[in-house]
Amino acid sequence: MGKEAIRKELQRITKDEDVRAHGARIAELSSRIDCSVRALPDYDPASRENFNCFEYALCLNEQLRNSTLANLGDFDVLVDYRFIDYLNRSGFLHPKSSAEMQDGDLVIYFREGKAQHAGRWNDGRVRSKWGRG
């Protein structure tokens, strides 16, 4: 199964409103098809934090988001693909090869010049958040 098919499966799984089922469905996906996507041990389906992959990758947890971004919300600033685009255009983001990556580095996936997903480099892999919860 190709990357696009895996992405579609993840979108299907995480559109389900029952966030508690996401971990088991992701585990099933990993065993059904040969891929390395998995729910991490610190996955908490009961978490009330609901943030996107960009906020996760930028380490903007609920408390920081509420205190910092609440003020920015008045200016219609959201941390989404447009914010990543702003960072990129402003010169805050710099490309690296996988050999140059260090733990904690930001990883952004682009399609046709638009940020699609983000995560953090962690021991040679990308750790990211998908869907809600």
Chain mean pLDDT for the chain: 78
Confidence of residue 1 (pLDDT cuts 50, 70, 90): low
Is the model more confident about 123 or about 68? Answer: 123
Q: Within 13 Å, how many C-alpha atoms sit on residue 74's CB side?
A: 5
What percent of the chain has pLDDT above 90? Answer: 19
Q: What is the pTM of this model?
A: 0.67
Q: Are 46 and 129 in contact (CB under 8 A)?
A: no
pLDDT digits (tens, 9 = 90+) for 69-108: 555 555 556 678 888 988 899 999 999 998 999 999 999 9
Domain ranges of the chain: 1-46, 47-133
Predicted confidence at residue 102, as pLDDT, reads 96
Of the candidates 78, 48, 46, 47, the one whose C-alpha atom is nearest the C-alpha of residue 65 is: 78
